[in-house]
Structure 1
Amino acid sequence: MQDLTGRCPWCGTDPLYVAYHDTEWGVPERDGRALWEKLILDGFQAGLAWITILRKRDGFRAAFEGFEPQVIAGWGDADVARLLADPGIVRHRGKIEGTIRSAQAWCRIEERQGFADFLWSFQEGRVVTNHARSIAEVPAETPMSQKISKALKQEGFTFCGPTIVYAFMQATGMVNDHLVTCPRHAEVARADRHR
């Protein structure tokens, strides 16, 4: 793994967390299914540390059939019961039932305009690149995350408040919030310019 002196401090030294920071976090994601998976996982993270979800991500992917929204949209009570018994995921009835409703909402948006286009349209397809020098300068939410949160809720999504949405925006590269001292800040900015 590359040595990233100046790396964003939030990932600490846990190898799984460091790898996530160095390869995934902040990279612009434009695939609708992958965006939905990340939004759902961010919703499951509410009240927990992200590393908890990261450690269970493979379990989530297995339990939720690869996060295929078209499949999950048709699930019912038996599937909720099965998931509540699965120790490989966070077992929270509201979040599980919310995932099914969110899958149904995803399908409606995907058919209407595409889920990725729906999300990225709020920023006209552009990444917002911030220039924070410390974690203290990074907001927990923004007017844009509030706007997207409201739109998602109107579409039928749950567990998508402005703070969750902002974390999602950071993770999926809608916002480049790598600190300017982190080599990934420039790498992610370059990658988006050359897409």
Structure 2
Amino acid sequence: MAHIDYYFATISPYTYLAGMRMEEVAAKHGATITYKPVDLITLFGRTGGTPPKDRHISRQEWRAQELVRQAKKLGMPFNLKPAHWPTNMAPSSYALIAAQKAGGGDLGKLVFAFTRSCWAVEKDIAQDDVIRACLEEAGFDPDLADTGMLAGADEYAANLEEAANRGVFGAPFYITDDDQRLWGQDRIEDLDLILSGKL
């Protein structure tokens, strides 16, 4: 059975734009997924990247155009300058790690709920009430926001180390079980082709 290690950040606009398309590809091929939230800003520093606010103005301007273009292309609501960005991505990441351990809900839906909350509906995903609402929306026990958070801290840190060691440098980032690495929401079609044996 094919497997995908999925590295992402809950405040990444490109993770939001990926929507649930990777999960659809995985289901098509019977592939399993391990969700690995990472501290993207720290990862940038570890792998030669630059946080958006520190990039050259030409790159910032391109990013602003590209995000809006991609959102329109995908028919997704999008706010280029959300009220609560950047925000602390650790609490939502801890909740996602706890949800993955607990089971009972839809992890892809949870990732999308967090990212949509940030980029489309102006909510702060560092806040407990927002985290609880996202957990509930995705079919998880909202009390995971209280009971599972501290246990997620070690795994969150381990995900960062693992990501840096496996060649991950951005989000969303997909690694197949034969070490095919794909970066970006615009590479999901390639993931489908790889799992089909066509690429």
Q: Same fold (TM over 0.5)?
A: no
The structure with the largest helix share of the pair is 1
Larger strand proportion of the pair: 2
